[in-house]
């Protein structure tokens, strides 16, 4: 029977934990690598709702992008997600920055593919990916294209005066990667989150930054991950969470 270790060994072939950022916390964060697996849940985050849904369908393992334990735990209450997973006998395997920079259907690569970019180039040391639009766009048109493609509930952008052809991107909270993308030749920088001063810098530079939401720039990679794993382990049932969602609304 397939074990968590078997699945971990496979993910190590395309998103090795050794490539994760120093600040990160990846791998098996709850449970045992020796646990047997028949059903696997795939979700961007592991929330209480996701844990309850996984329990309801009898999942043995949840594979998520965001670590269920990121900062050191100071307490473990009975209503905390790690406690619930342990109580339910569900192992958590988290693939974070190691999946962001993976060459084979990593998060940034999936984002570039979703936007139908060509000549996709990955710069893992900068956590940046570049690709080319089929036709140049102005900033507002590109921002609208991103919003429609990712089904984002809002998109923010700084203005730019030149046509956009080369897109630089860093999924998730990547505002601090703006200058790296620009130095690599990006006409625009797409990310999920940015700080106020990063917007100011982009506005001053004149090379626009488009911010489409953390969830929307990363959730795009979860279905490809699920399909990749299902192809490798046909004897295991892989299920996408139906309750994993963007945690905020816009008016």
pLDDT-based confidence at residue 161 (cuts at 50, 70, 90): confident
| pLDDT at position 156 | 98
Which residues span the domain enclosing 11? 4-99
CB 27 within 8 A of CB 98: no
191 and 214 in a single domain? The answer is yes
| pLDDT at position 25 | 98
Say if strands 164-173 and 128-137 run parallel, antiparallel, or are unpaired. antiparallel
| In-domain check, residue 89 | yes
| In-domain check, residue 226 | no
Whether 182 has a pLDDT exceeding 90, the answer reads: yes
CB 117 within 8 A of CB 133: yes
* Surface-to-core class of residue 51, CB atoms within 10 Å of its CB (0-12 exposed, 13-18 middle, 19+ buried): buried
Whether 249 has a pLDDT exceeding 90, the answer reads: yes
Q: What is the mean pLDDT of residues 104-125?
A: 97
| In-domain check, residue 248 | no
95 and 174 in a single domain? The answer is no
| In-domain check, residue 233 | no
Name which of 114, 154, 161, 153 is nearest 136 in CA terms: 161
CATH of the domain at 35: 3.40.1390.30
Is the pTM higher than 0.75? Answer: yes
Q: What is the mean pLDDT of residues 47-58?
A: 98
Quote the tokens at residue 169.
């991107």
| In-domain check, residue 173 | yes
Name which of 69, 243, 231, 217 is nearest 146 in CA terms: 217
| In-domain check, residue 247 | no
Q: What is the mean pLDDT of residues 4-15?
A: 99
* Surface-to-core class of residue 161, CB atoms within 10 Å of its CB (0-12 exposed, 13-18 middle, 19+ buried): exposed
66 and 141 in a single domain? The answer is no
Q: What is the mean pLDDT of residues 76-96?
A: 97
| pLDDT at position 55 | 98
Q: What is the mean pLDDT of residues 211-238?
A: 99
Q: What is the mean pLDDT of residues 17-23?
A: 97
| In-domain check, residue 224 | no
Task: Among 49, 66, 99, give the residue marking a domain's end.
Answer: 99
Q: What is the mean pLDDT of residues 73-82?
A: 94
Task: Among 70, 99, 128, give the residue marking a domain's end.
Answer: 99
139 and 87 in a single domain? The answer is no
Query: Based on the structure, what is the number of domains in the chain?
Result: 2
85 and 121 in a single domain? The answer is no
56 and 84 in a single domain? The answer is yes
123 and 186 in a single domain? The answer is yes
Q: What is the mean pLDDT of residues 225-244?
A: 99
Mean pLDDT of the chain: 98
| pLDDT at position 27 | 98
| pLDDT at position 138 | 98
Q: What is the mean pLDDT of residues 151-173?
A: 97
| In-domain check, residue 235 | no
75 and 129 in a single domain? The answer is no
Task: Among 99, 129, 160, give the residue marking a domain's end.
Answer: 99
Q: What is the mean pLDDT of residues 3-18?
A: 99
| pLDDT at position 191 | 99
């Amino acid at each position: 029977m397939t074990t968590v270790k078997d699945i971990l060994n496979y993910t190590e072939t395309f998103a090795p934990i050794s490539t994760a950022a120093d600040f990160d916390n990846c791998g098996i964060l709850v449970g045992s690598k020796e646990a047997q697996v028949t059903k696997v849940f795939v979700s961007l985050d592991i929330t209480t709702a996701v844990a309850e849904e996984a329990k309801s369908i009898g999942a043995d393992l949840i594979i998520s992008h965001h670590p269920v334990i990121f900062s050191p735990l100071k307490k473990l209450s009975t209503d905390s997600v790690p406690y619930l997973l342990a109580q339910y006998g569900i192992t958590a395997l988290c693939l974070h920055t190691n999946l962001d920079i993976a060459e084979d259907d990593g998060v940034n690569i999936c984002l570039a593919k979703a936007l139908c970019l060509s000549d996709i180039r990955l710069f893992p040391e900068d956590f940046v990916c570049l690709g080319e639009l089929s036709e140049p766009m102005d900033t507002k048109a590109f921002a609208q294209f991103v919003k429609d493609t990712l089904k984002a509930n809002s998109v923010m952008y700084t203005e730019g005066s030149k046509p956009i052809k080369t897109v630089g991107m860093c999924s998730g909270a990547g505002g601090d990667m703006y200058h790296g993308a620009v130095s690599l030749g990006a006409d625009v920088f797409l990310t999920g989150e940015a700080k106020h001063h990063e917007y100011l810098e982009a506005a001053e530079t004149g090379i626009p930054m488009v911010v489409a939401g953390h969830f929307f720039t990363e959730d795009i990679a979860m279905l490809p991950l699920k399909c990749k794993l299902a192809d490798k382990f046909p004897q295991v049932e892989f299920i996408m969470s139906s309750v994993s969602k963007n945690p905020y609304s816009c008016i």
